[in-house]
Amino acid sequence: MGCYSGTPLMNVSGWSFESTTAKACDACYADQRCTGWSTADNRTATLYTGRLQHHFLKTCVSAARYSSSHSSGQRSWWGISAGDGHWYSTPQSGECVEGATLGTDGCTWRVVQQVKYANASCIDGKIDAYVEARGAACFARCGSPLNRTSECYMNCYFNSLVGDAAFNLTQPPADALLQSWLRGFEENDPNMGGCPVVHTLPCKGAQCPRRERGGHLQDTKDRGALAAVASTTAMAWRGERSSVKRAVA
């Protein structure tokens, strides 16, 4: 196992092993000079800068900062999700003409029922609001707590999703995140956690998808440019059929 050491940069302290290691990781990723850290007593961690030395015969809890061409030394969001699920793509070229069964001429999906249109920003905002409330202690440390483009905000968002002992945050239940998202579709009243219905206009222009109806080609409604739509969609993917609710922005 061994232990890392190097030129001391700063110390951070916690009240438990979990909080100390979490705070050490947070502090190291927040400072570009940090290359790693170690703790010998599980209550205080020393952050290092410059080249690290690995002592194979020493025992401690330590870590070296990880970086790659994909992360540039920053946190990776790979694997972070709101729960179990599958990604289904609905390309225009795969839409079945009206009345056709799945698989006809290679088509992979069709609209069975249009349930509701709502602004994508409103639907997505339901997840953001839940995460911001859950991680309020972390967001409160940011200079502009709800500046969603700041590094501090993104770090707190990450912490709130995966858990961070430094702020007594545990990973939220997947169902809680899912219900926040679904409520935007199920309710129309913002005071009830819902999103207002958006009434779309017919799509006009050469860029609009076209669907065959009664032997004639006819423009369809634009389902993507202005709104998110919850619909029950029958799809064929790798030879399987599924019914799913989908949101497209």
The string of DSSP letters for 70-124 reads: TTTTSPP-TT--SSS-------GGGBPPTTPPTTGGG--EEEEEEEEEE-HHHHH
Whether the CB-CB separation of 248 and 90 falls below 8 Å is answered with yes
Q: Which residues of 147-176 are buried (b: 16+ CB within 10 A; e: fewer)?
A: eeeeebbbbbbbbbbeebbbbebeebeeee
pLDDT of 186: 92
Q: Give the separation between CA 49 and CA 226, rounded to whole angstroms.
A: 49
pLDDT of 216: 37
pLDDT of 167: 81
Q: Give the separation between CA 104 and CA 113, rounded to whole angstroms.
A: 19
Q: Where are the domains of the chain?
A: 3-64, 92-118+197-245, 120-192
pLDDT by position in tens, the chain (length 249): 578 899 999 999 888 777 788 788 888 888 889 999 998 888 899 999 999 988 887 878 888 886 655 445 555 554 455 555 667 778 878 888 888 888 898 888 888 888 888 888 898 899 899 999 999 988 998 888 888 888 888 888 888 888 887 788 888 887 888 888 889 999 999 999 899 999 877 767 665 655 444 433 344 443 333 334 443 333 333 333 333 333 333
What is the reported pTM? 0.55
